[in-house]
Chain A
Amino acid sequence: MIVADRKKIPEIRDMIRGHRRVLLVGCGTCVTVCLAGGEREVGILGSALRMALRLAGNTETVVDECTIERQCEDAFVDLLAERTAEGGYDAICSLGCGAGVQALAERFPAMPIYPGLNTQFIGILQSQGVWTEKCAGCGNCRLGEFAAVCPITRCAKRLLNGPCGSSRDGKCEISQDLDCAWQLIYDRARALGILDRFDAIVPPHDWSTGLDGGPRKVVREDQCIAGMGPKA
């Protein structure tokens, strides 16, 4: 899932300064699971933001709250149209990930949209309250070659032929809290009996599938609606 965390309240307060009516919009998908932008967090931020505005002497700005199922899909974003029109809102603060913020901006071209979260990474819940990065979305997944541990995401140097000389007792040199990805790869490969895969040097990664050529697009022609073509 996409993992995010909330911006500091003074930063959000300053972003929405100058607007009369602001709608805080939560997202019921990834950011709900990582406790950053779901219905509960929207309620907490709404309350805190209203107080922060009043404490800063701003008694004019109204902050309301709502949460939709998914901010990155038009079908759900459409549900906001009526709400924003009826409420007379002149700005939206999205508690979705960066994709959610931009989906709202595309759907409401005349409305200023502000991000309430800092989108961090694609990751998993490591333990209660702790999320860790697992995937860099490089567009060319080679986990099969590395015993299902991603060196691009989890090795600080992104080495494809590791480990480096700074791997100590299974930890990375940048932090004693960080496992050396290549130690994990080695341990897992040994347990699976596939250590011989590392006899050969791994060639450089093909980054042309990454952010190299600008924003990426995935098209499934068989799923596109006839006559409409892939959406720009």
Chain B
Amino acid sequence: MSDEPLVLAFCCHYCAYAAADLAGSMRLQYPANVRVLRLPCTGKIEVNYLLAAFERGADGVIVAGCLEGGCHYLEGNLRARRRVERARQLLAEIGLQPERLEMFNLSSAEGPRFAEIVTTMVECLRRLGPSPLRPASHPAESPATASRGSSAFPLPPSDFPKKPLDCVAGPACSGDKR
């Protein structure tokens, strides 16, 4: 089993997701262990999303939202922080290190900060070691060979989607880039 941690990053469309994009455009290096999931706002986060990630074997989870006071929806990131705190309490209650879940705030102009966040989190997770909830076959090891639908992070059907899905980013994101 690989000791490389798998990190899920729930990123707000208006800041962290754009910062990740910027980090890529700037050719910044950061660990490849992170899987970015875009949300319209971190206020979309629910405690059970965070728990589901750990239940399915994620070693760590990042929630990255706008700077406080800068939420596109006014206070989505503030609500997210409280939900993250509640999820951390639940993790502690069941005996999983709460440090595996962190929330960060950054702006869309902070590509280097995104790279730094991912690097810091991966370093922290390497110190903590793999999650005891990892499935026998970790999805980080062989995503290409994992049988569809049977891994902890099931892949969509091979013909998905036939038609590009609607996207909040509009025309810039309407093409099928897979």
Given A8, A9, A10, A51, which contacts B133 in the complex, CB threshold below 8 Å? A51
| Cβ-defined contact, A48 with B52, below 8 A | no
How many angstroms between the C-alpha atoms of A52 and B95 in the bound complex?
7
| Cβ-defined contact, A9 with B93, below 8 A | yes
Q: Mark A53-71, 1 if CB is under 8 A from B, else 0.
A: 0111000000000000000
Is A50 part of the binding interface, using a Cβ–Cβ cutoff of 8 Å?
Answer: yes
How many angstroms between the C-alpha atoms of A56 and B48 in the bound complex?
21
Distance from A53 Cβ to chain B, minimum over Cβ atoms (Å): 9
Distance from B45 Cβ to chain A, minimum over Cβ atoms (Å): 13
Given A9, A43, A44, A51, which contacts B54 in the complex, CB threshold below 8 Å? A51
Using A44-B48, A51-B133, A55-B95 as known contacts, say yes or no to A9 and B90 having CB atoms under 8 A apart: yes
From DSSP, what is the main secondary structure of chain B's interface residues?
A: helix
| Cβ-defined contact, A51 with B93, below 8 A | no
Using A51-B54, A54-B133 as known contacts, say yes or no to A43 and B94 having CB atoms under 8 A apart: no
| Cβ-defined contact, A48 with B93, below 8 A | yes
Q: Mark A34-54, 1 if CB is under 8 A from B, else 0.
A: 000000100110011011101
B94: chain A residues within 8 A (beta carbon): 9-10, 48, 51-52, 55
- Size of chain A's interface in residues, with CB distance under 8 A? 14
| Cβ-defined contact, A10 with B93, below 8 A | yes
Is B36 part of the binding interface, using a Cβ–Cβ cutoff of 8 Å?
Answer: no
Is B3 part of the binding interface, using a Cβ–Cβ cutoff of 8 Å?
Answer: no
| Cβ-defined contact, B48 with A43, below 8 A | yes
Q: Mark A1-44, 1 if CB is under 8 A from B, else 0.
A: 00000001110000000000000000000000000000010011
How many angstroms between the C-alpha atoms of A33 and B95 in the bound complex?
28
B152: chain A residues within 8 A (beta carbon): none
B132: chain A residues within 8 A (beta carbon): 54-55
A51: chain B residues within 8 A (beta carbon): 51, 54-55, 94, 96, 133
Distance from B79 Cβ to chain A, minimum over Cβ atoms (Å): 11
| Cβ-defined contact, B46 with A40, below 8 A | yes
Chain B minimum-CB-distance residue to A46: B48
Distance from A118 Cβ to chain B, minimum over Cβ atoms (Å): 15
| Cβ-defined contact, B93 with A55, below 8 A | no
B22: chain A residues within 8 A (beta carbon): none
B48: chain A residues within 8 A (beta carbon): 40, 43-44, 47
Among A102-129, those with CB < 8 Å from B are: none
How many angstroms between the C-alpha atoms of A206 and B90 in the bound complex?
45
Beyond contacts A44-B51, A48-B90, A55-B133: 9 other A-B pairs, Cβ-Cβ < 8 A, are: A9-B94, A10-B93, A10-B94, A48-B94, A51-B54, A51-B55, A55-B94, A55-B132, A56-B95
